């Protein structure tokens, strides 16, 4: 009586559902970003042309970028400066991954570890990365180490916070389910809590990398001779506003690209995430 | 027939900052091998807590649970659980969810895959092996939940309002399906519900629980043949009788 009706449970998607790729509506919503972008550019241009403040025009910035790309700043071409900044952030990011995620997950998993580390971390957490600059110089001099350290501070904090909350608030029901299946405590950690926390941990990784990238200027305030942040400072010393804005744009643009890359990675690493956060 | 599970004088009281809350009072019950026992009670009557205690997920304040004469100390795969909120691992596909229990217990990959495929066939999910839970409807998810519980080859299946979140039509259908599955591979079942018709449709025996603190108020044998018909005269009589007692129990 039942066997011939198996399909009844394959419920259709809710009414009015149209797969996104097939949607063919065009509305003014889609041109809004273009309009706002053009408007911002226009206002920038007007302010620069009227010389209300010391601000280069967009054309001057593009010229500056072209000059730096074909020539050199402080003896190095533009791509080298960008590369150096990326390298610093990447090294700091990897160290932060290796330290922050184990610390955060263990704090979320084990009350004792939480009680030991969390009070220290709660005080460490609100200290802005830039506040570490003087100590970093005193401890590590003016080489690469203090710069990587400053970026590391920026990366580290959100990774710990998100790993911690992800583990702590992992659905207890899933833990119960695994216990009725015979999971040991360590199996619960690796097979349930960790994957359940993965979306949150990954959000921490995203925030960490973005924040680390934002700290690159602070890091390169430490006697750097190269880097995107250095371009901004160098622009200030030689009173070249176009160079300052170029450096800012490079940081903004690369940060934007990093965010896009991470959003893509999120879909690869946590493919189940789509609707399932109930 | 052999007695599989027995609860002796189970009591549960929660101690909170606002005081004590007595949830279960002197629960005594026993379930025979391959019996389909339904525990019927209103919302918030402690029936989920009772099931969790039998599963070993919670401890009783006093009293004990015996599985084939041995006292239950904690959760174990021999007491399989089907949850109201289903509790599938959202990062695992259907087949990986079903295989989870055997994998945790170290069953070799080939064996557990073969068994999982058989279970998928049994619960009627052929073709959905590689789907993620969020791609399934509520009824299909609970099929996975049932298959997962079966995968540990349990002595008893504990079902906590497994169809509580489903729409009415799917619910009727799943009630037919759970009986079809159960008759194909019989187990001892304790099925918790707040729905009188569901209780009469499914159970060999129905226990009626009162509101808090939960006690067992009454017991009903339902010796009707299966499949049962909702409009059958005998069905309606049982329904009427139990519904009157349920009102008294409130």
From A2, A179, A195, residue closest to B91, measured CB to CB: A195
Under the banding of pLDDT at 50, 70 and 90, the label for residue A43 is very high
Percent share of chain A, pLDDT over 90 = 53
> What pLDDT does residue A6 have?
42
CB contact under 8 A, B77 and A184: no
Residue B55 contacts A where some CB pair is shorter than 8 Å = yes
For residues B181 and A154, which has the higher predicted lDDT (pLDDT)?
A154
First to last CA, chain B: 33
Mean pLDDT over the full length of chain B: 86
Q: Which residue has the tokens 């990897």?
A: A94
Q: Which of A31-45, A238-252, B65-79 has the lowest mean pLDDT?
A: B65-79
8-state DSSP, B57: S
Write out chain B residues lying below 8 Å of A198, CB-based: 91
Tally DSSP H helices, then E strands, for chain A.
Answer: 12, 0
**Cα A86 from Cα A223, distance rounded (Å):** 17
Give the minimum alpha-carbon distance from B244 to chain A in angstroms, rounded to a whole number.
31
Which residues on chain A are in Cβ contact (under 8 Å) with B56?
179-180
Per-residue confidence (pLDDT) for residue A20, from 0 to 100: 52
Instruction: Give yes or no for residue A85 having a pLDDT over 60.
Output: yes
Spatial contact of A77 and A249, defined as CB atoms under 8 Å apart: no
Q: In whole angstroms, what is the distance from residue B236 CA to residue B191 CA?
A: 21
C-alpha span between B117 and B12 (Å, rounded): 40
- Residue A164 pLDDT > 90: yes
pLDDT higher than threshold 70 for residue B48 = yes
Mean pLDDT on A244-251: 92
Query: Which of A13-17, A66-70, A154-158, B236-240 is predicted with the least confidence, judged by mean pLDDT?
Result: A13-17
Chain B contact present for A177, CB below 8 A: yes
In three-state form (DSSP H/G/I as H, E/B as E, the rest C), the secondary structure along A104-127 is: HHHHHHCHHHHHHHHHHHHHHCCC
Measured between CA atoms, the residue of chain B closest to residue A1 is B176
Predicted pLDDT at A4: 40
Structure tokens at B104: 């945790």
Rounded CA-CA distance B158/B147 in Å is: 13
| Pairing, β B62-67 against β B3-16 | antiparallel
Point out the least confidently predicted range of A32-36, A87-91, B213-217: B213-217
DSSP tag of B66: E
Q: Give the chain A residue nearest B132 (alpha carbons).
A: A272
B227 and chain A: CB distance < 8 Å anywhere?
Answer: yes
Residue with tokens 């149209």: A18
A contacts of B149 (beta carbons < 8 Å): 180
DSSP code at position A29: G
For the ranges A95-104, A111-120, B186-195, B206-215, the lowest mean pLDDT is seen at: B206-215
Q: What is the 3-state secondary structure (H, E, C) of A128-143?
A: CHHHHHHHHHHHHCCC
Can you give B72-131 as a three-state secondary structure string?
Answer: CCCCCCCEEEECCCCCCCCCCCHHHHHHHHHHHCCCCHHHHHHHHHHHHHHCCCCCCCCC
What's the pLDDT tens digit per position in B77-101? 889 999 988 899 989 989 999 999 8
Q: What pLDDT, on the 0 to 100 scale, is given for residue B249?
A: 59
Quick one: tokens of A220?
């390169």
CA dihedral angle for residue B25, residue B31, residue B36, residue B40, rounded to 10 degrees: -10
Give the per-residue pLDDT at A99: 95
**Nearest CB neighbour to A174, from listed B89, B105, B124:** B89
Please tell me which of the candidates B80, B90, B148 has its beta carbon nearest to residue A272: B90
pLDDT exceeds cutoff 70 at A2: no
Q: Cα B223 to chain center, whole Å?
A: 20
Pair of tokens at residue B179: 């009986």
B250 contact partners, CB below 8 Å, separation of at least 6: B42, B210, B211
Q: Nearest chain A Cα to B178, which residue?
A: A2
Render pLDDT for A182-226 as a digit per residue (tens, 0 to 9): 888 999 999 999 999 999 999 999 999 999 998 888 888 887 888
Q: Fill in the DSSP letter of residue B235.
A: H
The structure's pTM equals 0.80
Tell me which residue of A156, A183, A161, A178 sits closest to A108, measured CA to CA.
A161
Q: Do B104 and A187 touch (CB under 8 A)?
A: yes
Residue A18 pLDDT greater than 80, yes or no:
no
Average of per-residue pLDDT across B191-218: 85
Confidence of residue A15 (pLDDT cuts 50, 70, 90): very low
Compare all CA atoms of chain B with the CA of A193 and give the residue at the minimum distance: B89
Cβ of residue B53 closer than 8 Å to a chain A Cβ: no
User: ipTM of the assembly?
Assistant: 0.87
Q: Cα A116 from chain centroid?
A: 28
- B234 or A156: which leads in pLDDT: A156
Residue B45's pLDDT is what? Answer: 76
- Measured between beta carbons, the chain B residues lying within 8 angstroms of A271 are 132
Rounded CA-CA distance A218/A229 in Å is: 8
pLDDT of residue B4 exceeding 90: no
Q: Which of B114, B133, B137, B124 is nearest to B181 (CA)?
A: B124
């Amino acid at each position: 009586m039942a066997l011939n009706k198996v399909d009844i449970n394959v419920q259709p998607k809710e009414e009015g559902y149209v797969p996104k790729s097939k949607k063919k509506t065009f509305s003014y919503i889609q041109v809004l970003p273009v309009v706002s972008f053009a408007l911002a550019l226009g206002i920038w241009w007007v302010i620069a042309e009227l010389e209300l403040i010391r601000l280069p025009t967009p054309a001057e910035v593009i010229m500056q970028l072209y000059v730096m790309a074909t020539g050199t700043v402080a003896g190095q071409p533009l791509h080298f400066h960008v590369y150096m900044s990326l390298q610093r952030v990447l090294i700091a990011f990897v160290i932060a991954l290796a330290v922050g995620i184990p610390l955060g997950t263990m704090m979320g998993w084990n009350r004792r570890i939480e009680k030991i580390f969390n009070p220290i971390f709660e005080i460490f957490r609100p200290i802005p990365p830039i506040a570490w600059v003087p100590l970093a110089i005193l401890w590590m001099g003016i080489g690469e180490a203090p710069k990587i350290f400053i970026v590391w501070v920026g990366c580290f904090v959100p990774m710990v916070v998100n790993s911690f909350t992800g583990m702590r608030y992992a659905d207890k029901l899933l833990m119960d389910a695994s216990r009725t299946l015979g999971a040991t405590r360590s199996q619960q950690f690796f097979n349930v809590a960790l994957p359940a926390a993965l979306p949150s941990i990954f959000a921490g990784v995203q925030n960490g990398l973005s924040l680390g990238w934002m700290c690159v200027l602070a890091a390169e305030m430490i006697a750097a001779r190269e880097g995107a942040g250095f371009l901004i400072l160098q622009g200030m010393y030689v009173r070249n506003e176009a160079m300052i804005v170029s450096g800012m744009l490079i940081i903004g643009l690369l940060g934007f690209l990093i965010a896009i890359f991470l959003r893509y990675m999120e879909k690869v690493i946590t493919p189940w995430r789509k609707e399932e956060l109930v | 027939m052999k007695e599989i599970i027995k609860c002796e004088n189970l009591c549960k009281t929660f101690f909170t900052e606002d005081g004590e809350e007595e949830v279960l009072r002197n629960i005594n019950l026993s379930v025979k091998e391959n019996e389909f026992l339904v525990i019927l009670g209103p919302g918030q009557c402690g029936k989920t807590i009772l099931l969790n205690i039998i599963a070993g997920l919670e401890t009783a304040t006093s009293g004990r649970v015996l599985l084939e004469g041995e006292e239950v100390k904690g959760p174990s795969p021999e007491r399989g659980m089907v949850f109201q909120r289903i509790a599938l691992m959202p990062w695992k596909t259907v087949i990986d969810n079903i295989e989870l229990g055997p994998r945790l217990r170290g069953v070799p990959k080939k064996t557990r895959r073969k068994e999982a495929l058989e279970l998928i066939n049994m619960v009627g999910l052929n073709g959905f092996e590689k789907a993620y839970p969020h791609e399934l409807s509520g009824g299909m998810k609970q099929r996975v939940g049932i298959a997962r519980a079966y995968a540990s080859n349990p002595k008893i299946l504990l079902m906590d309002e497994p169809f509580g979140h489903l729409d009415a039509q799917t619910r009727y259908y799943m009630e037919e399906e759970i009986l079809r599955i159960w008759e194909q591979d019989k187990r001892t079942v304790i099925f918790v519900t707040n729905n009188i018709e569901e209780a009469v449709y499914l159970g060999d025996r129905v226990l009626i629980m009162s509101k808090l603190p939960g006690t067992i108020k009454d017991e009903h044998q339902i010796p009707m043949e299966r499949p049962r018909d909702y409009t059958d005269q005998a069905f309606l009589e049982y329904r009427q009788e139990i519904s009157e007692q349920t009102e008294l129990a409130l």
